[in-house]
Structure 1
Amino acid sequence: MTSQETRATWSSREHTQPMQSTGSMYTRHHSTLSTPRHTGTQPRNSYMPTRSTPHQTSTHYPRKRTEAKRYVIEDFRQAFERKGMDLDTTRKLGRGKYSKVYKAVDKNNNRLVAVKAIDVLELTSDVKNKFLPREISCWRKLKNQFLVGLHAQYEAQNMIFLTMEYGSQGDLLRYVQDKGGIQERKAGLFMSQLMRGLQYMHSKQIAHRDIKLENIILFDNCVKLSDFGFVRQVEQNTMSLTFCGSKSYSAPELLRGIGYNPFLSDVWSLGVVGFVMVTNRMPFDEKKPNNVIVELQRTRQYVIPQTVHLTVSCISSFEAMMTFDAKERPSSNECLALPWIIPHIEMVDRRSG
């Protein structure tokens, strides 16, 4: 691809109109934290049917069908340079099923940014027409100290690029894998920051629906929620029927396949995050059938290692967030008063103010 081709098609977009469709998906998460995250790619399937042999008497030959040209992020290096950004493609900061994240230097603002590169040709119709437009639309509305901020959106050829805040410390899953369980007081501060970010999202009537350690980014002096691929803006009492997110962090109502309040399911997922931070283990094994996990959730059959000593305030707080009956589960706003969280709120509010 020539630089002229890139220049002609590079554009920034401010608004994307979502189309309605239905979908159901789960992303997987290893229940053993010491296991490295999956970095492989799924095999690609051919969507082109095998052509039948042309009729013997025909003098016309079928036109050969060609697939859309595939581009990689290196093809857009010059386009980024014209935007004043020096793109580093030597290693990925992270990757998802349809995207890869790289680091770049934004010379216009003298700051490091993360660039999420999305190959549109790889997207399913649900992701392309519903989840991605919804992600961008909602993300633009979210301006909070404890949510990773979206800087800009660019499009070129078959690629969409989202530039965002860069967290130099990586994600929380890798942090726990490398360092083990987090000391209760520090974990409580992290939980307070995340709860403030989540409470802000919910005040905007936006649910996250994919809270997990991989989607929490560490900055120099705080943690922030990231990856808004499954966000949805809903009225407070509207039930959601899209069963998305990671099974290990899913509330029982999702595993049961019934309509759920996405705000309260977010609270459950953040409770699981709190449990993992201090114990260095998942409370429930995602390899088990859904009905088995639900029963374990109902009876609170998770194990806190004997070597981990937690206060009643800590245990009672994540247990409140993981209340089986969603109607009895506290809202994100009510969680700010939990005994593990409230001691840190004044510090969190002072920083965010």
Structure 2
Amino acid sequence: MKIHITEVLRSMGFTSMLNIGGGNFSTVKLAKTSRYPGVSTVAIKIIECQLLASSVLSIFFSRELSIMKIVKHPHIVHVYEVFELPGGAVCIVMEAASANLAQVIDNSNGIPIRIVKKRFSQIVSAVEYLHNNDIVHRDLKCDNVLLSADGNGKLADFGFSRFMTGELSDTFCGSLWYAAPELLISNCYDPKKSDVWSLGIILYYMATGDLPFKCHDNIELSIQHREPVTFPKHCNVEEECRIFISYMLQYDPQNRPSVSEVAQHPWLQSFQKDVQAQSSSSSVSNEKDMSTSENASAPCPNVEPVLEAGASKEVVEEVEIGCSDESPHTAGKRARDASNKWLASTLKFFKSLLRRIKKLFRRNNYNMHDSTSATTQQQCASDCVFFLQASATSDSEHNSKHGQRSKRQIIRKFLQHIIKRKQKVKPI
């Protein structure tokens, strides 16, 4: 059946399909396609409806399908198409993501607070949109927040979501460590308030890199929920953020804020004000540039260079912008020299990375060129893609605030990841 589905998808213009996830009743494939304008890669969730027919999960699937067809929000994963294949399988074609939020957090040495605010603000805006349209998610967690290539958060996985118009829920949904206290001790609960609790867990995880409550026993977990929220001593979480997290993680759902109140909290509003200020500053700067170009005799003030995400700090120092009498030819030469320096630096870095990878595999007696080592080559490629995707966003955003990250540190981190996975690689 799986082969048949793959052949049908290929006939529809989907190629290079790789399995990237799934469960008992579904499979998620990454595919190339030119079927949708401006899109080259998509994720296809294939649901085996014939297997669902006798399962209670069929109810959840029908809800998921009806909700995903109608939601439209910049921070909710976009669905391009839904169609049924011969045999009863249903395919949901959606935008692909480089990684999920949990992977990025686990593979970083801490996310800058500015990025935490940005991503959490995006998640809150998506949940507020759902609640305003009487939709509850009921499975909010970092694993269900996908990150696009440009680093923006996209809420995904609506398997437990449903329409709610004021009534209470009586079904336990979601992950235990993200579940609100009332789900563990009550038959009925307000799913909108439980979504807010899950948002508090997500922000705690983003700010500290860990979960506030971790226990496999429901009774012990309920006891932990009653205690005030504590933060690891090694994490430098600002006081305003701690207060905001505690505000969402209130034990009594009656005292817990709504998602609209969360969106209006001063801690998040400060980020919105910073974004607006930067936007206004950028507009003023553009107007000044236009005025300067129109009047060449006007004095030109010195401008501080801005370090873009992922850019090399030393390169930016070479290309300082300011008042200068140099000719366009000289200015162009300086720009080309700076670009060449950046390319040389990047090439040197990746050559160094490649040498260390080869050294690691020689040390562990792995033959990367042996035709019988297809598993080895596939695993190495998987590790490389996983590392680059999971770290590209967090590392580039870390650069934008703290300068260029140590290349040696990045290499060391990648090699540690390879070593952890080496048991899955077949030695010769």
By the TM > 0.5 criterion, same fold? yes
Structure 2 counterpart of 1:196, from 125, 130, 133: 125
The share of aligned pairs that are identical, in percent, is: 30
Structure 2 counterpart of 1:276, from 205, 215, 221: 205
2:155 corresponding residue in structure 1: 225
The answer to whether the 8 A contact 2:208-2:237 is kept is no
1:197-222 per-position Cα deviation (integer Å, ceiling 9, x unaligned) = 00001111000000011101011131
Structure 1 segments unaligned to the other structure (5+ residues): 1-70
The answer to whether the 8 A contact 1:201-1:207 is kept is yes
User: After superposition, where does 1:99-110 map in structure 2 within 5 Å?
Assistant: 99-109=26-36, 110=38
The answer to whether the 8 A contact 1:172-1:216 is kept is yes
Residues 1:328 and 2:255 are matched in the alignment: yes
Residues 1:151 and 2:80 are matched in the alignment: yes
The answer to whether the 8 A contact 1:336-1:345 is kept is no
Q: Greater helix share, 1 or 2?
A: 2
Structure 2 counterpart of 1:127, from 57, 64, 72: 57
Report how far residue 131 of structure 1 moved.
0.3
| CA-based RMSD | 2.0
Opposite residue 162 of structure 1, the aligned amino acid is I
2:116 corresponding residue in structure 1: 187
Opposite residue 337 of structure 1, the aligned amino acid is Q
Report how far residue 132 of structure 1 moved.
0.3
Structure 2 counterpart of 1:299, from 219, 224, 227: 227
Distance 2:200 2:35 in 1: 39
Opposite residue 225 of structure 1, the aligned amino acid is L
Q: Secondary structure at the match of 1:163?
A: strand
Q: Which moved more, 1:175-184 or 1:240-249?
A: 175-184
Opposite residue 217 of structure 1, the aligned amino acid is L
Report how far residue 228 of structure 1 moved.
0.3
2:333 corresponding residue in structure 1: none
The answer to whether the 8 A contact 1:86-1:107 is kept is no
1:246-292 per-position Cα deviation (integer Å, ceiling 9, x unaligned) = 000000010113311111100100110110111111111131x2222
* TM-score, structure 1 normalization: 0.73
User: After superposition, where does 1:1-353 map in structure 2 within 5 Å?
Assistant: 71-72=1-2, 74-89=3-18, 92-109=19-36, 110-111=38-39, 112-123=41-52, 125-128=55-58, 130-156=59-85, 157-167=87-97, 169-219=98-148, 220-235=150-165, 237-287=166-216, 289-300=217-228, 302-345=229-272, 347=275
Distance 2:103 2:236 in 1: 23
Q: Secondary structure at the match of 1:152?
A: strand
Distance 1:342 1:100 in 2: 39
Opposite residue 197 of structure 2, the aligned amino acid is W
- The answer to which structure, 1 or 2, has the higher relative contact order (CA under 8 A, 6+ apart) is 1
Counting matched residue pairs gives: 272
Distance 2:271 2:127 in 1: 16
Report how far residue 158 of structure 1 moved.
4.0
Opposite residue 294 of structure 1, the aligned amino acid is S
Structure 2 segments unaligned to the other structure (5+ residues): 280-428
Opposite residue 239 of structure 2, the aligned amino acid is V
Opposite residue 320 of structure 1, the aligned amino acid is Y
Q: 1:284 to 1:145 in 2, by over 3 A?
A: same
Distance 1:183 1:95 in 2: 32
Opposite residue 158 of structure 2, the aligned amino acid is F
Report how far residue 119 of structure 1 moved.
2.1
The answer to whether the 8 A contact 1:184-1:314 is kept is no
Distance 1:341 1:97 in 2: 39
Report how far residue 138 of structure 1 moved.
1.1
1:61-80 per-position Cα deviation (integer Å, ceiling 9, x unaligned) = xxxxxxxxxx11x4223322
The answer to whether the 8 A contact 2:28-2:44 is kept is yes
Q: Which moved more, 1:306-315 or 1:102-111?
A: 102-111
Distance 1:96 1:341 in 2: 36
Q: Secondary structure at the match of 1:266?
A: helix
Distance 1:214 1:133 in 2: 22
